[in-house]
Amino acid sequence: MHLYRDLIKPQLFRRDPEEIHHLTIAGLSRAGQLPGLPGLARELSLPRNPALHQTLWGRDFASPLGLAAGLDKNAEAVPAFGAMGFGFLEVGTITPRAQSGNERPRLFRLPEDDALINRMGFNNDGVEAVRERLEGSSRLCPVWVNIGKNKVTPNEQAALDYRRCVAALYPVADAFAVNVSSPNTPGLRALQAAGDLRALVHEIMEEAELQRVRTTRRRPPVLVKLAPDLHPADFEASVDAVLQAGADGLIISNTTLSREGLRSSYRGESGGLSGRPLRERSTELVRLGFQQARGRVPVVGVGGIFSAEDAFEKILAGASLVEVYSGLIYGGPTLPAEIARGLSRLLEREGFRSVGEAVGARSM
């Protein structure tokens, strides 16, 4: 019997998902403040296997598995999530000014499909509050900050919002993830058009360089997160735009608007779908992005990871790192450790000496 999946999850799933989300984050925030507990829990959860270790952008990752953006939107539980054994955490999406997001209900569980639908709308506390929180948080692994524009900001001025995020959060971000692919902010996905995306990323890179000179702090890598719903030609053009603008990586992919094959009664709800139904599509896009990038930048694979086998599939397709979100909701806090142990076994079974050796091994 699995404590979380068999006993705790059925009780949690009887209550409103957003209410449970807030209660969980609050509980994790308090647990993360207990002296010594996060570090001890991480020692117990993350296997000491050099094969899982990678150095990317000059930074160390003890595991290729990260927490995707959207779960710890306001960086409230960084120590607790680090204690679970993640190799890195992505907080956000953060916008320059605090905003409440879309009206509730805006988060739906689809247990028949192992999926979630959300239309949160970048609800967050804003850059100043998140910067202060991150300045006071202990870190057990790198913390990436996912950034976006405020809902009221027109696309013509979007670059200013992204630049404000970079300027404010530069001292506390181990990487920036540029969100232009959420379906829940009107017009945001239009920024993925190749010309607009190239100009936007260029401005973000310019701001990051200005902050590097001003602070003398090593520049954090800048990655761009793309949607899974792009037409193949548009996806290729967007990847080219990201590379031409000088970004340091790709995150593939965000949530989808597709509802193909869903069984849940919530399948008609608007918003972005995440979870198991996204696995095959996101893995295929990881493969295409890896082939197109040709090793120039790392690819981060996101979508439908519930097991070590799911994570390994994306690594073989070309993902240097992978992220989980819905899988954690369904699998519970022991999932990162389970995936890390499973990846260790899979690497050994398939004859790979390290994660890096397996990246893209079956990308063709």
Task: State the pLDDT at residue 1.
Answer: 77
The first and second tokens of residue 149, run together, are 């524009």
Q: How many CB atoms lie within 10 A of CB 317?
A: 26
pLDDT (tens digit per residue) in 251-280: 999 999 999 999 999 999 999 999 999 999
In 110-145, which positions are buried (b, 16+ CB within 10 angstroms) versus exposed (e)? beebbbbbbbbbbbbbbbeebbebbeebeebbbbbb
| Confidence at residue 336, expressed as pLDDT on a 0 to 100 scale | 96
At 305, list the tokens. Answer: 């990871």
Q: What is the pLDDT of residues 64-91, one digit of tens each?
A: 999 999 999 999 999 999 999 999 999 9
Nearest to 200 by CA among 247, 234, 138: 247
Question: 182, 282, 320, 344: which is the annotated catalytic residue?
Answer: 182
pLDDT at residue 100, as a whole number: 96
- pLDDT value for 281: 96
In the chain, what are the domain boundaries?
3-358
Predicted pLDDT at 194: 77
The pLDDT score that the predictor gives to residue 191 is 80
Q: Looking at residue 361, what is its pLDDT?
A: 94
Kindly report which listed range (111-120, 139-148, 166-175, 193-202) carries the lowest average pLDDT score: 193-202
Model pTM score:
0.96
274 is catalytic: no
pLDDT tens digits, residue range 287-339? 999 999 999 999 999 999 999 999 999 999 999 999 999 999 999 999 999 99
pLDDT in tens, 26-65: 999 999 999 999 999 999 888 889 999 999 999 999 999 9
In DSSP terms, 222 is beta-bridged to: 176
Burial of 239 (0-12, 13-18, 19+ CB in 10 A): buried
Look up residue 79 and give its two tokens. 């120590």
Instruction: Give me the pLDDT at residue 239, please.
Output: 95
- pLDDT confidence of residue 187: 80
Class of domain 3-358: alpha beta
pLDDT at 283 over 90: yes
Give me 340's structure tokens: 């890390």
